[in-house]
């Protein structure tokens, strides 16, 4: 499938899903025009809505790229959620541990954020390497192992933030808050949960991964080892080691996502059962982007906008917010069935001659 075909498919999927969603809204007795207006108002209606959309988009870009790295190389990393949780928790613990050793200043804040992010990258990368090793050297199914490791990460981190790492005096199961000087600068938008710097970090990661996957021998070896392991081995590539490398790199990006989430949005770490399903949503984002790191950006913006609209609608409308989840599900369904659109194009004469 060409890039233009993929873009057309994504656009058609989104429009069709939205149209069906409006029909459902009307059938349920609500005003579909008002619902559509609320969707756009909640996504980009003002500076606050735009910042909220970009906040969700930032995390989805990073988790989406993490999924895309593995999927593009033929390895199914369904464990990005767990790696995201591990990365975020390690970031907070590292910063809280190192903060007393440095003077309280903006410069120290930058150092702590860099060190916390580095710790997250290492921890999440190692956590993702485990199922990679099991797949490469023990023949384990990475789908099963990564799904199970999601539960392990959620359970263990949940126990730690509720017990040993619970902030002193906290009623909720949260760690202590990060020092005030450990935060990303709020420029352009005044939203306390979003920083343009965080979004810029996400875009930088996208650019680096895109170059790695397309312009380097490492990226070529990753893709070849995932889809044609025998051919890769014949050409001198250590396919097993490359599978482990792929999973590790995927986990490292998930670690960056966890670090950005912890620093930019939370400022502490809470029970991971309630932090959102960014790692799972990233699968849909990557699918919509055809596992292309660059395509992850507009796909994340779409899903981020829908998430933001859901938050707005739940407060300002009596329309059930679950309809937003339904629209997201329909987008994924239609993207997963591209042949439906190809058949429609052929029958209407828009897709050329049938082969």
Residue 325 has pLDDT above 90, yes or no: no
Residues with Cβ within 8 Å of 164's Cβ and at least 6 positions away in sequence, in order, are none
In a domain, 129, yes or no: yes
The tokens of 115 are what? 């060190």
Residues with Cβ within 8 Å of 238's Cβ and at least 6 positions away in sequence, in order, are none
| SS3 at position 174 | strand
How far is Cα of residue 261 from the mean position of the Cα atoms in its chain? 11
223 vs 116, higher pLDDT: 116
Q: Which of 12-16, 111-115, 161-165, 286-290 has the lowest mean pLDDT?
A: 12-16
In a domain, 355, yes or no: no
Residues with Cβ within 8 Å of 92's Cβ and at least 6 positions away in sequence, in order, are 116, 175, 178, 262, 268, 269
Residue 346 has pLDDT above 80, yes or no: no
Give phi and psi for 155, each to the nearest 5: -70, -45
The tokens of 271 are what? 């029970």
Residue 93 has pLDDT above 90, yes or no: yes
Count of structural domains within the chain: 1
Give the Cα separation of 257 and 281 in Å (integer). Answer: 13
In a domain, 153, yes or no: yes
* pLDDT computed for residue 170 by the predictor: 85
In a domain, 303, yes or no: no
Give the Cα separation of 98 and 196 in Å (integer). Answer: 26
Residue 343's pLDDT band (cuts 50, 70, 90): low
Closest CA to 307 of 110, 57, 11, 78: 57
Percent of the chain with pLDDT over 90: 57
Give the tens place of pLDDT for each residue, 247-277: 999 999 999 999 999 999 999 999 998 888 9
Range among 171-185, 211-225, 322-336 with highest mean pLDDT value = 171-185
* pLDDT computed for residue 64 by the predictor: 97
- Cross-strand bridge partners of residue 174: 270
Range among 161-175, 234-248, 316-330 with highest mean pLDDT value = 161-175
Give the Cα separation of 249 and 122 in Å (integer). Answer: 10
Residue 351 has pLDDT above 80, yes or no: no
Give the tens place of pLDDT for each residue, 2-14: 667 777 777 777 7
**Domain, as residue range, for 197:** 54-295
Give the Cα separation of 19 and 1 in Å (integer). Answer: 25
Give the Cα separation of 279 and 159 in Å (integer). Answer: 20
Average pLDDT in the 319-345 region?
A: 70
Q: Which of 1-15, 27-41, 49-63 has the lowest mean pLDDT?
A: 1-15
In a domain, 132, yes or no: yes
Closest CA to 52 of 43, 39, 61: 43
In a domain, 226, yes or no: yes
> Positive or negative, the Cα torsion across 269, 302, 121, 129?
positive
* pLDDT computed for residue 338 by the predictor: 61
H-assigned helices in 45-105: 47-72, 80-98
Give the Cα separation of 223 and 270 in Å (integer). Answer: 36
DSSP 8-state class, residue 329: H
In a domain, 4, yes or no: no
Q: Name the residue with tokens 């593009």.
A: 72
* pLDDT computed for residue 289 by the predictor: 86
* pLDDT computed for residue 354 by the predictor: 43
Give the tens place of pLDDT for each residue, 182-227: 999 988 888 889 999 999 999 999 999 999 998 898 888 887 776 6
Mean pLDDT of the chain: 88
Average pLDDT in the 125-141 region?
A: 95
Average pLDDT in the 63-91 region?
A: 96
In a domain, 314, yes or no: no
Residue 112 has pLDDT above 80, yes or no: yes
């Amino acid at each position: 499938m060409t890039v233009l075909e993929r873009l057309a498919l994504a656009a058609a999927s989104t429009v069709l899903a939205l149209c069906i969603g409006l029909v459902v809204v009307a059938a349920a007795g609500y005003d579909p025009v008002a619902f559509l207006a609320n969707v756009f108002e909640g996504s980009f209606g003002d500076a606050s809505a735009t910042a909220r959309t970009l906040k969700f988009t930032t995390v989805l870009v990073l988790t989406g790229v993490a999924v895309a790295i593995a999927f593009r190389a033929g390895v199914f990393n369904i464990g990005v959620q767990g790696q995201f949780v591990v990365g975020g928790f390690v970031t907070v613990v590292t910063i809280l541990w190192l903060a007393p050793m440095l003077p309280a200043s903006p410069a120290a804040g930058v150092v702590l954020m860099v060190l916390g992010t580095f710790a997250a990258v290492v921890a999440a990368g190692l956590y993702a390497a485990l199922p990679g090793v099991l797949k490469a050297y023990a023949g384990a199914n990475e789908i099963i192992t990564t799904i199970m490791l999601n539960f392990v990460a959620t359970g263990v981190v949940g126990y730690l933030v509720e017990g040993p790492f619970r902030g002193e005096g906290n009623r909720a199961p949260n760690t202590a808050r990060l020092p005030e000087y450990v935060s990303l600068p709020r420029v352009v938008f005044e939203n306390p949960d979003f920083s343009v710097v965080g979004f810029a970090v996400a875009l930088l990661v996208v650019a680096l991964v895109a170059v790695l996957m397309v312009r380097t021998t490492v990226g070529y070896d990753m893709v070849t080892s995932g889809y044609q392991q025998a051919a890769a081995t014949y050409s001198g590539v250590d396919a097993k080691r490359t599978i482990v490398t792929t999973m590790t790199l995927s986990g490292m990006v998930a670690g960056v996502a966890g670090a950005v989430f912890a620093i930019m949005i939370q400022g502490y770490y809470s029970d991971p059962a309630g932090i959102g399903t960014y790692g799972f949503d990233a699968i849909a984002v990557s699918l919509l982007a055809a596992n292309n790191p660059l395509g992850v950006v507009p796909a994340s913006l779409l899903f981020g906008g829908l998430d933001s609209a859901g938050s707005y609608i739940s407060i300002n409308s009596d329309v059930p917010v679950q309809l937003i989840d339904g629209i997201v599900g329909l987008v994924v369904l239609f993207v997963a069935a591209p042949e439906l659109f190809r058949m429609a194009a052929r029958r209407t004469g828009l897709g050329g001659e049938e082969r």
